[in-house]
A and B are shown apart, each in its own frame.
Chain A
Amino acid sequence: MVQIFVENKPYEVKPDQNLLDACLSLGFDLPYFCWHPALHSVGACRQCAVKQFRDENDTSGRIVMACMTPAANGVRISIDDREARAFRAGVIEWLMLNHPHDCPVCDEGGECHLQDMTVMTGHSRRRYRGAKRTFINQDLGPFVNHEMSRCIQCYRCVRFYGDYAGGGDLAAFSLRSQVYFGRHQSGVLESPFSGNLAEICPTGVFTDKSLKRHYARKWDLETAPSVCVHCALGCNTIPGARYGSLRRISNRFNGAVNGYFLCDRGRYGYEFVNSPRRLRQPLLRKGRSGPAAPVSATAALRRLREIISDSRVAGIGSPRASLEANFALRRLVGPAMFASGMSEGDWRLAQKTSRILKEGPARSVSLDEVRRADAVLVLGEDVTNFAPMLDLALRQSVRQMPVRETSGAIPPWDDKAMREAVQQRRGPLFIATPAPTSLDAIATTAWRAAPDEIARLGFMVASLLDKSAPAPAGLGSRERSIATAIAAALGEAERPLVIAGTGLGSEAVLEAAANVAWTLSAGGRTAGLCLTLPEANSMGAALMEGGPISRAVEAIESGSADTVVILENDLCRRAAPSLVENLFEKARHVIVIDSLINPTVARAGVALPAATFAESDGTFVSSEGRAQRYFKVMPPSGEVMESWRWLAAMGPAADAWRMVGEVAKDLENDLPVFSGISAAVYGAGFRISGQKIARQPRGYSGRTAMSADIGVAERQPPVDDDSPLSFSMEGFQGEPPPPLIPRYWAPGWNSVQALNKFQEEVGGPLRGGNPGRRLIEPAPGRPEQPPAPQPPFFNLPPAPFSPPAGRWLLAPLYHTFGSEELSILSPGIRQLAPAAYLALSQKDADDLGIGAGGIAELETATGFLRLPVRLAETLPSGVAGVPVCLEGLEGIVSPGEYVRIRAASRK
């Protein structure tokens, strides 16, 4: 620690930071614009000026920018100094010269950093009489609204979008007071992280376009801590609702996970909650094939209890439903009759994933550890499309090595100088995938190969690092030299990381990744291993050990069950149509609980309207193995109920559970792998100063008129039995423990930047720690002292890839927008989702006589399919890429399957 003096008072602060970091961490209010805790300092806006004094005798001092001045031992500054204050007021005045002062019609109003800073600096009288510069705005696509005339030229947008997130299509144009931030011309922003611009921009230039369509001010949004449901990474979110509809998602800081950012799928996928396809009432079918008619919840439950009491019930859970919902189903049907809800392939992969992480010495890393890794091998995964935030994390990890080599001369927080010194240099990142990925551009080597060849490369790397690991036979010389380079880079790294996952559908690749990470976890070093999974609770479902969907189907087929309850699971997306067909054919009753009307719901005998994440509480386990609780943002309306409540109500234990915490407790008792999930959150009885935590901010308007359309009496707000949060503005408005933070606000800080006030130090963890409880820790590594037991290496490298003549291996291709089930119901995401296609290498297409734009006919195990062909230059021959779950392709891909392909005659 070093000592600095602020207004002549001594403070202990961490070394190696700048004065702005230090002052904000100490709780001082010091205005800033161009600085951002994740982007650090560039000294452009000059808003953070303070007075620095040479020593205690220096009374004149000089103005310095806090963000560009090291907090060195003995530094003396004044924030309150008259000249410093005047300068800061001057800066705001300049920034506001061209600003349109259109707060009343600006979406940022009420959560605007520029408003906050203007008030903080006391600039309240306009002295500039001249014309303002104005700009023409661009259409940036469905996510981000552009209003350039509000710009204050802080450069944060391009620094985030280009420097941090690697996007190439947003830039600064022109100069002086006329710098234009935008695209070369109107068009959809290409980066899958574009939505962060809305939070990065300190004013209303970039705002959330989805919010605009059903706008509410921040002070009119009811908010609660939540977790993203659109992939397995478990990014923390703050959904905002008003009048029973979800209006937006914004970031919830979790230093170990998503930090300050979200991907666009996570930010904009939420609109399925408001979708007209929502199932809002129970449906009961007359007979086996009669029409389904809406009934009341009471009527539905009466019927359900009848069914359950005289059936043998099997259950199909879901990797997108909470632990609690899955467990409630498991309780209802008994462990033997419970299936996890994954396809055969997914199940095997998920099992393997969780075993590798539990039983091996490598550490399942958090996203933050990915950001800090200094050498990375990606085996098989297109992370950008599968688990987007992993892409953003990797873009930071490639900077670790060059930054480390450069620091010393340049403090790491001096972002501009650091980037100029580092230039294009990047640390090691090796990518081996069948198809090109958008990370290839920053990779040391990007190598294209079939899944088995990717696995073989991994096995080779492991065997180079540790002779006792098995080497694949007959590896080519090019592969060998790539493997050698990878082994050298990983071997030298301080924090090596291997990324693989289930996206490619190859167990061999997972094994290879494990071998590499295990060989690296020796000699006191624990290598990182990041294994991606597809869905928000895939890991939770894997840990619950229920078996694949087929387990339930077999139970029905064999007669050990005659009724099936399907929880939040559109089987048609995951299982072969024949399997689904069989199930519906054979089961006496099919009961489906889900939030949206999908093909499975449409065929159910009884369909029950489930609450979405926005209307329920529950726990997801992320691919890292981090259990995280999410909370209702709004109460479920009408007949909609949380899945676990339906399950509890239809079973014999109908009133054993009154709140979600009780389900979690029982789960912990039954399955020790989950123990700790409740400890990480605060029970429903938790109070601060005797109060619940208010979901509505103090400024919520129309409190007494909210139900004026129904009656003049002020109605009682809904009661929340499940959590210490309340559905009203009454209650605690201060800083709750991290997992319960419903929004960031502090006096004078209405924007997202109020987050500073919730952190131990700016950019650091939330006061009280990052939310979530890790359930998986690595097995003890190989001890250094002999006798060193051999690591549990996988011993069967696959043989070289050689597809049978006339057949193609189907490789799944993911799309950030389109492959995920729920987000596709958001109009913006639907707009950006590509149409179904088949990817073939140029050579294979030529051999087949299919030109670009031609149509291929695909013969799979489940039937014929016609798809337009996209040529993928670098796709290995013998591999055909099929986009996962794009419209028309739901349920058709079973990875590892070989198919026949021929040119289809044009119709």
Chain B
Amino acid sequence: METPLTANIRSGHEPSDIDAYRKNGGYRAVLKALRSMSPAEVAQAVRDAGLKGRGGAGFDAGLKWSFVPMGSDAPRPKYLAVNADEMEPGTFKDRLLMEGDPHQLIEGAILSAYAIEADVAYIFLRREYRLAARRLRQAVAGVYHSGLLGRNIIGSGYSLDIHLHVSGGRYMCGEETGMLNAIEGKRANPRSKPPYPQTSGLWGKPTVVNNVETICNVPHIVNNGAPWFRELSHTDEGGTKIYGASGRVRSPGAWELPMGTTLNELIEEHAGGMQDGYKLRGLLPGGASTDFLTPAHLDVKMDFGSVEAAGSRLGTGTIVVLDDRSCPVGMVLNLERFFARESCGWCAPCWGGLQFAVELLTDIEAGQGRMEDIDLLESLAKMLGPGHTYCALAPGAAEPLASALKFFREDFERHVHEKQCPWNRA
């Protein structure tokens, strides 16, 4: 089984420096692209590979790039923004990639930038990733030193600067247009779409935002081609995926596996099954803003299409496991508190609806809820759905809420009837 993204990563060790990285075939893709491929060809290779964005929404990366105006009369400068904000609760995959192999990300960024003829790339990193920041900073300096960044890279006529930008801290910065505002030094409210960032992004110029993992795939696609990439996967969505699991599993962690690995395999084999004395009650397949699935879904293949067919989303592919000794209402309350706290305050359904939801959930969890509160929560979840809000934060918040009400309704009702939390740990 090939694990291109993590092949270079040895936990507990410093990552390869540029020389070691190059010895292992690193930056070969950059040399290849800049010497023998046009930007369009790089973009096409990614398009052919069917690389879907790994940041959560699963949007086809090559397709996204194709919306960027190209050619000599395209607006300039153009930008690439690498989304390294990773603040989705339950998600810790990009940390692994950046701490473990920073050059892979930089190589991917150079290639992605080249494909859209970007002049500048920003790596937008959350503040708490101190180790990743140090390693990336070191790596970037090394790449400049070796002449693979800067003006007229290896005589190709292509120039690129990469800046590491460390966030002021907010979940909203991960939302792609919120990130644009954050990079511009503004409040990270999202922007109106359309126009999409590909045509009007940073400072009004064409910009592509991609997730760290998405970008890390690009060098391998350029090196090995689309057919190879598609072969890596169990399903027709190509590549590998960094999956992870947290919660009461025996060995929580993150693993690079073929796209489409089943939930069962992930939990039972890689995460080692549930801890002793705990049973699987439900799970969020890809971070806080995905719908709950239940033990009945263990056969679901973890790719974008299959998880969606099962009623949830692959999201970031990092599973959060709910065990039978934790209160589902408490878990949903924890999630909604997070979303309410991180709401940017721009649109009313989000700041108001989530405040309301938290209030109702707090009451129910405390044994002070009423039956009609449950219906109210249900209608709230519906009203926070996609298209009803300005960005995807609130719809993301609605997903675990709506699905919890579907799968754990009796737990909510027990809280109301018993006037206390049945799991009360006190």
Contacts and interface: CB of A to CB of B under 8 A. Distances in A.
B348 A91 contact: yes
A64 B345 contact: no
Interface in B390-424: 390
A789 interface: no
Contacts of A47: 348
Interface in A395-416: 406, 409-410, 414, 416
Contacts of A406: 204
A176 B338 CA distance: 11
B356 A63 contact: no
A42 interface: yes
A43 interface: yes
Interface centre among A130, A177, A414, A417 (most CB of B within 10 A): A177
A153 B356 contact: no
Given A49-B388, A416-B191, A423-B203, A177 B347 contact: no
A170 to B, nearest CB: 14
Given A43-B390, A68-B192, A417-B200, A176 B355 contact: yes
Contacts of B359: 128-130
A417 B363 contact: no
B376 A63 contact: no
B346 interface: yes
B356 A417 contact: no
Interface string A89-122: 0110111011000000000000000000000000
B341 interface: yes
A90 B349 contact: yes
A784 interface: no
A43 B194 CA distance: 12
A426 B201 CA distance: 18
Contacts of B379: 86, 90
Contact of A416 (B192, B353, B376, B389): B192
A172 interface: yes
A367 to B, nearest CB: 29
Contacts of A49: 388
Contacts of A46: 347-349, 388-390
A44 B346 contact: yes
Contacts of B199: 409
Contact of A176 (B192, B193, B351, B362): B351
A213 interface: no
Given A63-B387, A172-B187, A177-B355, A94 B200 contact: no
B342 A176 contact: yes
A42 B362 CA distance: 32
B76 to A, nearest CB: 14
Contacts of B363: 129
Give chain A's interface residue range (CB within 8 Å of chain B).
Answer: 35 or more
B25 interface: no
A406 to B, nearest CB: 8
Contact of B341 (A94, A176, A409): A176
Interface in A34-74: 42-47, 49, 62-64, 68
Contacts of B354: 176-177
A421 B204 contact: yes
Nearest to B352: A94
B353 A176 contact: no
A417 B347 contact: no
B387 A417 contact: no
A97 B356 contact: yes
B383 interface: yes
Contacts of B345: 153, 172, 174-179
A44 B350 CA distance: 10
Interface string B187-214: 1000111110001100110000000000
Given A62-B387, A177-B343, A414 B349 contact: no
B204 A423 contact: yes
A153 B352 CA distance: 10
A201 to B, nearest CB: 16
Given A64-B387, A175-B344, A420 B192 contact: yes
A420 B390 CA distance: 16
Contacts of A95: 348, 352
A129 B360 CA distance: 8
Interface string A872-897: 00000000000000000000000000
Interface string A715-748: 0000000000000000000000000000000000
A129 B358 CA distance: 11
A177 B343 CA distance: 8
Contacts of A155: 346
Contacts of B302: none
Contacts of B204: 406, 420-423, 425
27 contacts: A46-B347, A46-B349, A63-B388, A86-B383, A87-B383, A90-B353, A90-B383, A94-B355, A94-B356, A95-B352, A98-B355, A130-B355, A152-B348, A153-B351, A175-B172, A176-B342, A176-B351, A177-B343, A177-B354, A409-B200, A410-B194, A416-B191, A417-B195, A421-B200, A422-B204, A423-B203, A423-B204
Q: Which 5 A-B pairs have the closest CB atoms?
A: A94-B352, A130-B359, A417-B192, A175-B345, A179-B345
Interface of B: 170, 172, 187, 191-195, 199-200, 203-204, 340-349, 351-356, 359, 362-363, 376, 379-380, 383, 387-390
Given A44-B346, A94-B356, A417-B200, 16 more contacts: A44-B347, A45-B348, A49-B388, A94-B349, A97-B352, A152-B348, A175-B187, A176-B344, A176-B351, A176-B354, A177-B340, A409-B199, A416-B191, A417-B195, A421-B195, A423-B203
